[in-house]
A and B are shown apart, each in its own frame.
Chain A
Amino acid sequence: MKIYKVKVNGKYYEVEVSAVEQVSGEVKLQPQKQEEIVSQGYNVILAPIAGKVLDVKVKVGDMVKKNQTVAIIEAMKLENEIQSAFDGQVSAINIKKGDDVRNKDELIILK
């Protein structure tokens, strides 16, 4: 075990470092859970039914008003207009025309 003095942001710390075997590895980004996304000030528009995406009415960067239609999902000849429950700016779109979606899938994220 060796002790080093390490300067971080102008402040010195004593750090103990042990020799370890070098191993290869990778860091995989875990998709953020919906609760984490919402707690960071984002709003998530969910699929209210399973179906096929007929149309996506917005693109990333668009400003969206509450009640604005953002997508249409079809199932069993039910065409479902998905309206935003929030004002916001489109931060991410997880769907495209022709995709199959499940109930509660995250469609569009607003910030």
Chain B
Amino acid sequence: MKLIHFDVINSTNTFLKDNYHNYQHLTFVSADSQTKGKGREAKKWLSEKGKNLLFSVLIKNEKLIEKYKTLSIVCGYSVLEVLMDYGLSNISIKWPNDVYVDDKKICGILLEAVSKQEIECLIVGIGINVNQKNFEEEYAITPTSIRNQLGKCIQLDKFKIDIYSNLISNFKLIEEDYDFYSQLRKYDYLKGREVFALVSNEKKLVKVLGINSDYSLSVITEGKKIDLETGQISFSL
């Protein structure tokens, strides 16, 4: 394991994507602030300097790469477990891997991969709102933070180590084919909800049945049951 920290960087994910060949498996790169923090499909990830946990971890283990679907959702579940240890409640996973408290987003996760003919590495980018109190920008989903949920700030350095440790433990369990599904399905945010989803490039209203054991999302739309593996989920009004 290698730990790297920047005061400010463009993006921890971009740093690892550009330099993955120079670093080993389980290199963690964190930053107090990002100038070009990003989410899915080039969306921005915004964060007040020094208030939150922003980091990326490099995955070069073949088995973890092969099990990227499990890895993706277990990263969310790993964050959920630590948040529970810190006293937060009503935490859930919004498929495929965001972490919510009530109906508010507390953690976003972006997986990126670099491939030539095969996937050469995965980069897991995780942003967790820790001590930020105010969220000034306009957000599609209302954000929250540990500070806002507990009413007090926590020690960011200790929280970082707790998150890193739990990720490493759970990565080992993934390699050992541990059954996470039976645990994390209890925290399925979308289960039973009606949402809009992209189905074959069309936005459709779907009823979510729940996360499947292969981590696809089972939904019903127009009377048919289908399993989603890609695409945006947005909420119905």
Contact = CB atoms under 8 A, between A and B. Distances in A.
Q: How large is the interface on B (under 10, 10 to 19, 20 to 34, 35 or more residues)?
A: 20 to 34
A84 B115 CA distance: 8
Contacts, number: 72
Nearest to A54: B41
A100 B229 CA distance: 11
Nearest to B230: A52
Given A50-B229, A52-B231, A98-B201, A76 B215 contact: yes
A85 B117 contact: yes
SS of B interface (majority): mixed
A83 B119 contact: no
B55 to A, nearest CB: 17
Interface in B142-190: none
Interface of B: 17, 40-41, 68-69, 72, 96-97, 109-119, 122, 200-201, 215-216, 229-231
A98 B230 CA distance: 11
A82 B120 CA distance: 10
Contact of A78 (B113, B117, B118): B113
A56 interface: no
Most buried by B among A46, A76, A98: A76
